[in-house]
Structure 1
Amino acid sequence: MGRLVPAVTRALDILELFLDGDGTLSAPDIVRKLQLPRTTVHELVTTLAARSYIAPVPGQPGRYRLGVRPYQLGSRYAEQLDLAAEGQQVARSVAETCDETVHVAILEGTDVIYIAKVDSTHAVRMVSAAGRRLPAHCTSVGKMLLAALPEQELTARIPDDAELTAMTPNSITDPAVLREALAEIRRRGIAVENRESNPDVSCVAAPVRDRTGQVVAALSISVPMIRWSEERRAELEQLAAKGAVELSERLGHRSAV
């Protein structure tokens, strides 16, 4: 591997400073934060501004903000992202940590479609496949995705008089009860499925966001009841949330600090 170029490293360090605070900086700010010589900072700032990586802030002499070029590069990066491929990689990492089945799913109408799946190595595991479609209200990923919908859109998809299919005796079939469950999911940021799509399996799920902050998918961990407990559930909730954050970051989302 070749050596790092100091000037390029310093220029990138400057650009990354704009990710914090109000997104504007002066040359003295940069000098103080990076402990670089004033002359070096002046030269780097002049170069970055000339290439549209940063731009002067109107009405604030001497202050800069990100220019149009980082946006253009970010947009091109976003165009090349493949949710299914990125989801498969993150699901594999999560599955290696917990040795349970991990899914990534998206919402289509009132159903979820699994777009990525990694199995556990246990003999007893969930039988499923990428591409499978299930009623959203019966799954942790589906409830997570429904909870992220604006109220008007949720009502359009699942009216108050909707007839919800039951996949198991534990499935939610009353829209009012479903709305109560979704409200709790919004509060906690985690969805739990208690044998609602499979009588022998429980799941937890967390939201996956794109670079705009919109929930575009959900990541779940599914566990046979023989390995399920409240302690295990708490562990898996944290792991699912961590995996969802990682996938969100791969899609360009920047988590709040």
Structure 2
Amino acid sequence: MKLHRSTFRCIEMLELVANHPDGITLTEISKIMDIPKSSAYDISGTLLALGMFEETITEVKKYKIGIKAFKIGNKYVKSNNLVAVAEPYLIELAERFNKTVYIGKMNKTCFVYTFKYEPKNNIVNLPNIGVEGPLHATSIGKTLLANYDLCEEVINDIEFTKFTENTITNPYDLNGELAKIKKLGYGMEIREYHDFLSSVAAPIYTKNDSIPTAIELSGIYSESQDLELEAKTVKEVADTISEILNSQVKA
């Protein structure tokens, strides 16, 4: 399928600006996207007029993601039946372990968080909805990979960035980890992405979605925590959510 060039540039610019929460200048946009400044001006001006961008004027004019873009993204979350079904179970899970819970979906060679709930007494700031993460260095990323039919193709494209001393940095070790996840039904990660965090994840199985989805429980790592208990509990919750979603498909 041939991509429409102008539409592609609009989406590319939206993603670029969204990845710069403090704002980005027109010159920077033009340079990163490798397009003439006049073209960048026309596209950004249109997106600004439509409310997809906002302008911040300090010393230099910068563009930030606008309220219209937020509303569109929020409609995706609200229209997602998975979130509606999973939310009460995930809130209960987060409050029980006093950790943050996520729903994440695979997105090419990374994953993106589509839902987040933080317990009231949470003491660490973790990534928000829409943030992308590495597949090889997180429990949710590895769990998604383990449940993807085209897993090997994705692994070939992974850069294997080393984030900590515990990060998996090669396909051989990653494949070994994925085999364990397939056997156990859940994934674990101890200080592989951040030195002070650990997480556990389990897949959600739905009959009408070929792109893997999973839930994750994440928080500060402690040697006294029972990570296996957390992982088994997350798997039970994921299985329950999967069962409900698949029963709705049958109905």
> How high is the TM-score relative to the length of structure 1?
0.60
Does 1:158 pair with 2:155?
A: yes
Aligned to 1:13: none
Match of 1:89 in 2: 88
1:240 and 1:110 map into 2 onto residues whose CA distance is 24
The answer to whether structure 1 residue 243 and structure 2 residue 243 are counterparts is no
- 1:210 alignment partner in structure 2: 206
Q: Name the CA distance, whole Å, in 2 between partners of 1:212 and 1:116.
A: 20
How many angstroms does 1:216 deviate by? 3.0
Distance 1:147 1:253, change over 3 A: farther
Counterpart residue number, 1:195:
191
Identity %: 28
Tell me the amino acid that sits aligned with residue 85 of structure 2.
Answer: E
SS state of the match for residue 242, structure 2?
helix
Residue 171 of structure 1 corresponds to which residue in structure 2? 167
Computed over aligned residues only, the root mean square deviation of the Cα atoms, in angstroms, reads 2.4
Q: Is the 8 A contact 2:186 2:232 kept in 1?
A: no
CA–CA distance in structure 2, aligned partners of residues 157 and 167 of structure 1: 19
Name the CA shift for 1:131/1:234 in 2 (closer, same or farther; >3 Å): same
| Structure 1: distance between partners of 2:247 and 2:212 | 11
In structure 1, the residue corresponding to 2:136 is in which secondary structure?
helix
Structure 1's 199 and 82: CA in aligned 2 closer, same or farther, altered over 3 A? same
The one-letter code sitting in structure 2 at the alignment partner of 1:167 is: F
Distance in 2 between the 1:109 and 1:218 partners?
Answer: 15
User: CA, structure 1 residues 164+176, in 2 after alignment: closer, same or farther (shift >3 Å)?
Assistant: same
Q: Distance in 1 between matches of 2:227 and 2:127?
A: 20
- CA shift, 1:125, in A, is 2.8
Q: How far apart, CA to CA, are the structure 1 residues paired with 2:148 and 2:159?
A: 19
169, 174, 179: which one pairs with 1:183?
179
CA distance in 2, matches of 1:201, 1:245: 25
Please give the alpha-carbon distance, in whole angstroms, between the structure 2 residues aligned to 1:140 and 1:124: 21
> Is this contact kept in 2: 1:112–1:133, CA < 8 A?
yes
Q: Per-residue displacement from partner, 1:129-184 (whole Å, max 9, x unpaired)?
A: 1111011111101100101123xx1221122x853112222111111111111011
Gaps of 5+ in 2: 1-78
Alpha-carbon contact 1:100-1:121 (below 8 Å) kept:
no
Residue by residue over 1:32-71, the C-alpha shift from the partner in whole angstroms, topping out at 9 and shown as x without a partner, is xxxxxxxxxxxxxxxxxxxxxxxxxxxxxxxxxxxxxxxx
SS across alignment from 1:113: strand
Partner amino acid for 1:177?
D
Q: Give distance in 2, aligned partners of 1:187 and 1:213.
A: 22
**What is the letter of the counterpart of residue 153 of structure 2?**
A
Higher CA-based Rg: 1
Alignment of 1:41-80 (within 5 A): none
Contact 1:99 1:122 in 2 (8 A): yes
- State the AA in 2 paired with 1:251: L
Residue in 1 that maps onto 2:47? none
Tell me the residue number matched to 2:124.
125
Distance in 1, matches of 2:139 and 2:125, equals: 14
Deviates more, 1:197-206 or 1:125-134: 125-134
Aligned partner letter, 1:130: I
Query: Residue 101 of structure 1 contacts residue 117 of structure 1 at CA under 8 Å; is this kept in 2?
Result: yes
Residue range with higher mean Cα deviation, 110-119 or 92-101: 92-101
The amino acid of 2:95's aligned partner reads E
1:234 equivalent in alignment to 2:234:
no
* Residue 89 of structure 1, CA deviation: 3.3
Gaps of 5+ in 1: 1-79
- 1:92 Cα shift? 1.2
Please say if 1:223 is aligned against 2:210.
Answer: no
